[in-house]
Chains A and B, each alone.
Chain A
Amino acid sequence: MNVSGTPQRALRILPVLLLAAGAALAADAATSAAADERPAGQRLYGRHCLSCHQADGGGVPNMQPAIAGGTWVTGDARALALFVMTGGFDSAQRKESDNSNVMPAFGHLPDEDLAAILTYIREKFGKGASAVTPAQVAEARSGIPAPSGQ
């Protein structure tokens, strides 16, 4: 530490240091307790979606598309729920996409988790699109044909 500064200067620096130390402590605490304190939608987005679509919803060029502001996220909630549950393997959009990676299906997630994720991305990336309820997800799910043989 620089000891040649005037007392006034030291006094000016001290609060900054205290603030920095406080922020560091807060950051540590946030890291250690983060997992379960984030809202469910954000936590589940981090768990299932973030590595491909990234924290800012911006996607990765040529790999996975941006979802922020996109019509899937801002548009019809039922269509969005259906797409996320079934993935992009057979979608018409897939054929026109320049992105290398395919969207897997998330139909194995419960209605509540899907509703929380969809609400989160519509809130954060959807230009104010409405929240999605578990009932809406269940309704969309009822329209998916059962796999053959079942």
Chain B
Amino acid sequence: MRTHLVRVVSLAIAGLAAAAAAADDSGLKLPEGFSAVVVQEGQGTARHLAIRANGDIYLAGRNGLIAMRDTNGDFKADVVTPFGDVKGTGILIHENHLYVSDDVGVYRYALDPNELVPKGSRETVVDGFPRERQHADKTFALDAKGTLYVNVGAPSNSCQEKDRQEGSLGMNPCPILEKYGGVWVFDGNKLNQTPADGRRFSTGIRNAVAIEWNPGANGLYAVIHGRDSLDTLFPALYTAEDNATRQAEEFHRLTDGGNYGWPYTFWDNKVGHRVLAPEYGGDGKKAPEAGKYPDPLVAFPAHWAPNDLLFYSGKNFPAKYQGGAIIAFHGSWNRAPEPQAGYKVVFQPMKNGKPNGAYEVLADGFAGEIADNNPRNARYRPVGLAVAPDGALYVSDSQKGRVWRISHGGK
């Protein structure tokens, strides 16, 4: 009898401990009905993440790949195992393979049933992209058939003859667009491809770290990092405040053959239309030839740095989230001396693949007070997104490698 009582009390205590562990310890600001827990922290500079059907979490990072598993249902990662030798940002699961990318290629590992860490060696899907420093992450998307769409960012701010040099004019036509500044398409099921095996799908894209296939709309979408430094490069045309606010982070549906206007143009949030870039004859107002480049689906504020995108189809969030876009904004640096901004996860309602109402903040409070207005001092910076099989949203952070689980209704 006494033994039984001890066992019951122990179970009750264990239950309380689990409940306490699942309480919101996130420090995040979330809409009514949502809560979050910290899954894991401390794996360095994390980037994107992917979640398998059994709930295992795979985190890409500048220090390498990490596999994580929650073994007792409290949503905390109990097993955390570094593996592999790919240091980069992109990571997705497709047909029992874990696809990952770095600055020069896309690779994959076969996932074994119930094994957390892939046992086999990595396979090369495509590699040999030129090694660059700027906008070098080869983030990617995969459609249901395994078509691989690779973001090949432009190693340049605005294709000036001298990158980021005051007054330097744009090269015309911009030669960078031949090999960069667009999305290239490959067969994601085929191994050992080189960039030459790919085909340019769309162009005029400065850097689309946030790129995603939307199965609900059967289309490819991206939120593009807009240009920097309007004021320091062309001080006669733009003030520091202009630079901090005018050039949109553009959300587009990318189509085969589409051209989204970089470096010749940008979407100007102040005048509310696309303008010619100052490197290409822009005067702060002049629009490019009508109809040459598409308008963005949504023009987000300047410099927020969209670093991941997903389309929500999970079971946990309320109905209005179905099919909508969730975007992780890493936060600005080039707004200085104006206050930095971004550093949040945003929800953009969508219907039939098109925006359906204004965007709203889904998760905020990552950065805390940013001392000296320097992004280095942000507490956390959201960088990656994934949805678990139970519909919860997972968010990764690039400052300390923290991962949160955000869910609705206390589930």
Contacts and interface: CB of A to CB of B under 8 A. Distances in A.
A60 interface: yes
A110 B30 CA distance: 51
A144 to B, nearest CB: 15
Interface of B: 62, 133-136, 157, 162-167, 228-229, 231-232, 235, 240, 243, 333-337, 372-377
Given A60-B376, A101-B133, A101-B164, 19 more contacts: A46-B240, A46-B337, A50-B337, A51-B232, A51-B334, A51-B336, A54-B376, A55-B336, A55-B372, A55-B374, A100-B134, A101-B134, A101-B157, A102-B133, A102-B134, A104-B163, A104-B166, A105-B165, A106-B166
A28 interface: no
A59 B377 CA distance: 11
Nearest to B375: A60
Contacts of B165: 87, 104-105
A54 B164 contact: no
Interface string A90-119: 000000010111101110100000000000
Contacts of A105: 162, 165
B336 A99 contact: no
30 contacts: A47-B232, A48-B166, A50-B337, A51-B228, A51-B231, A51-B232, A51-B240, A51-B333, A51-B334, A55-B336, A55-B337, A55-B372, A55-B374, A56-B373, A58-B372, A58-B376, A60-B333, A87-B165, A100-B134, A100-B135, A100-B136, A101-B134, A101-B164, A102-B163, A104-B164, A104-B165, A104-B166, A105-B162, A105-B165, A106-B166
A23 interface: no
A63 interface: yes
The interface residues of chain B, by DSSP majority, are classed as loop
Contacts of A50: 336-337
A58 B166 CA distance: 22
Contacts of B373: 54-56
Interface in A20-73: 46-48, 50-51, 54-56, 58-63
B133 A56 contact: no
Considering residues A50, A101, A106, which has the most beta carbons from chain B within 10 angstroms of its beta carbon?
A101
B369 to A, nearest CB: 14
Interface residues of A, number: 25
A127 B162 CA distance: 32
Contacts of A101: 133-134, 157, 164
Given A51-B243, A51-B336, A58 B136 contact: no
Contacts of A59: 376
Contact of A100 (B133, B232, B335): B133
A61 B376 contact: yes
Closest 8 CB pairs of A and B: A56-B372, A104-B165, A60-B333, A100-B133, A54-B374, A100-B134, A104-B164, A58-B374
A118 B204 CA distance: 38
Given A87-B165, A105-B165, A54 B133 contact: no
Contacts of B243: 51
A11 B125 CA distance: 73
Contacts of A47: 232, 235
A53 B235 CA distance: 18
A58 B162 CA distance: 25
Contacts of B133: 97, 99-102
A51 B303 CA distance: 12
Contacts of B375: 60-61
